[in-house]
């Protein structure tokens, strides 16, 4: 193999995020040696993997950062996304490239984000502090278009709100787990509403009666090539911020677990931690590697 070919190789992992069981979470492609690859090359690679997101690891450029990551959907780059952030840390630890006991900081387009690792081996959980969610003004017609496409009405107590923490999600409280699980949304109409409003998609949640998790969540982003996401870190971080801002955390607690993905034959769990004083939100969970090798960039 020539030197030029070697320079074009990257260590590669496909990681299932927010699960300890392969094929049950949200798949993520991680390119561990992306330095020298430009944005167009990253976008082409993300379109080729055809996963909801592909993460590209690079040398950090800011003091204090442990590593840098760029995150791409099949169609665009995201400043932040949760499952790529959690899965990238899992991949870096497994490859021996970062020390899980260290004070880790992720550099991404959304800034410097603290990372916390608990446990070891199969019990390891990675938590990433999400960027602070910002309310996005959204006109009533746009909200109505999303709700009509969803085929559901929000809880009478709390109105839907668009929040931006990297992606911008319309967050909607449907009240109960049953209301969330029974949805049959019109994906073409959601895509059209996203195109008109600039909102990446809609994420809905409802309270669960079981002991294993406190919320059921679904997230739809067909305009970005992801009709229904199996497990969504950014949307769950936005939901945590929404619960904090609306004074609704008491119904689930400041540390709660989310079930997502069962409607599309997955079974992911996302752990959410909300600081009751600052409103900062951490999202985290387990991950498992399904593919480990090298890829030609």
Q: Which helix (H) or strand (E) holds 133?
A: none
According to DSSP, the residues that pair with 68 across neighbouring strands are 58, 107
Q: What SS3 string covers 135-180?
A: EECCCHHHHHHHHHHHCCCCCCCCCCEEEECCCEEEEEEEEEHHHH
Which of 53, 94, 191, 228 is flagged as catalytic? 53
Q: Nearest-CA neighbor of 168 among 139, 216, 203?
A: 203
- Given the DSSP bridges, would you call strands 255-260 and 268-274 parallel, antiparallel or unpaired? antiparallel
For residues 145 and 189, is the Cβ–Cβ distance under 8 A?
yes
Active site (annotated) includes residue 107 = no
For residues 277 and 283, is the Cβ–Cβ distance under 8 A?
no
Q: Which residues are catalytic?
A: 53
């Amino acid at each position: 193999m020539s030197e030029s070919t070697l320079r074009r190789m990257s260590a590669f992992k496909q990681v299932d995020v927010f699960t300890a069981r392969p094929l049950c979470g949200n798949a993520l492609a991680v390119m561990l040696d992306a330095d020298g690859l430009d944005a167009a090359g990253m976008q082409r690679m993300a379109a080729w993997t055809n996963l909801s997101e592909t993460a590209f690891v690079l040398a950090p450029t800011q003091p204090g950062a442990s590593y840098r990551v760029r995150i791409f959907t099949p169609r665009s780059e995201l400043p932040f996304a949760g499952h790529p952030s959690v899965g990238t840390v899992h991949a870096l630890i497994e490859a021996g490239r970062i020390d899980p006991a260290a004070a880790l900081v992720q550099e991404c387009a959304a800034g410097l984000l603290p990372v916390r690792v608990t446990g070891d081996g199969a019990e390891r959980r990675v938590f990433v502090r999400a960027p602070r969610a910002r309310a996005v003004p959204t006109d009533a017609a746009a909200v109505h278009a999303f709700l009509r496409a969803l085929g559901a009405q929000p809880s009478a107590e709390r109105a839907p709100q668009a929040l931006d923490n990297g992606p911008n999600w319309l967050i909607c409280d449907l009240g109960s787990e049953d209301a969330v699980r029974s949805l049959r949304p019109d994906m073409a109409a959601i895509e059209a509403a996203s195109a008109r409003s600039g909102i990446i998609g809609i994420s809905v949640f409802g309270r669960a009666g079981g002991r294993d998790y406190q919320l059921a969540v679904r997230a739809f982003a067909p305009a970005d090539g992801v009709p229904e996401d199996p497990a969504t870190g950014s949307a769950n971080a936005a939901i945590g911020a929404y619960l904090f801002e609306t004074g609704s955390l008491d119904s689930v607690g400041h540390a709660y677990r989310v079930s997502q993905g069962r409607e599309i034959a997955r079974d992911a769990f996302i752990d959410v931690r909300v600081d009751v004083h600052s409103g900062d939100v951490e999202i985290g969970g387990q991950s498992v590697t399904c593919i480990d090798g090298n890829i030609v960039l």
